[in-house]
Amino acid sequence: MHQRLDPASPQARLILVMGVAGSGKTTIGKRLAARLAYTFIDADDFHSSDAVARMRSGVPLSDGMRDEWIERVAAALAEHYRQRTNCVLAFSGLRARHRRRLMQLGFHTSAFLLSGERRLLAQRIARRHDHFMPATQLPRQLATMEPVEAHEGIASVDIDAEPDAIVDALAAQLTS
């Protein structure tokens, strides 16, 4: 679902930067948003305190908790859409129905799935100390991630590069 960036478009743009824990979605999303002068939104900020506590303690979220979370994210995005604010959203995108929900909000949407080897993801998670998701949850996240189907229009991006190189590649795809 890549659509060329059109600065003259009256419709707001949404760029989804998705991936499991450790894929770099927040880092890449923030840098891409800065590059494009878009608003950056981290879907993690919309988790309830109960959900964060569960994840921090290694307990996976229930589907109901995930659905409530996605609805909070969708409500925030809907407000940005009404204001015609261009956004980059860092979002796990583990469930296909959640990806669909956010891609159907009316924005011109482009979506990228950051993916890499389990070893690299685990190394990245182990290095961070300011996030609620423990490294022990990576196998569960990988198992929960529903495969991206071709009809979803989501481009896969290898994370085995420096963040600025990944942002350069995403920006190039968006403008080509």
Q: What is the pLDDT of residues 136-172, one digit of tens each?
A: 676 677 777 788 898 899 999 988 889 899 999 999 9
The encoded tokens of residue 84 equal: 């015609």
pLDDT confidence of residue 2:
45
d(CA 161, CA 81): 32
Domain boundaries, the chain: 13-175
C-alpha distance from residue 38 to each of 1, 56, 85, 111 (Å): 19, 30, 8, 15
d(CA 46, CA 82): 19
Which parts of the chain have pLDDT scores under 50?
Answer: 1-3
Matching residue, tokens 């490294």: 135
Domain 13-175: top CATH class? alpha beta
Please classify residue 175 by burial: count the beta carbons closer than 10 Å to its beta carbon, then call 0-12 exposed, 13-18 middle and 19+ buried: exposed
Q: At what angle do helices 63-82 and 96-103 cross, to 10 degrees?
A: 10
pLDDT confidence of residue 159:
87
- What DSSP string runs through 54-65? HHHTTPPPPHHH
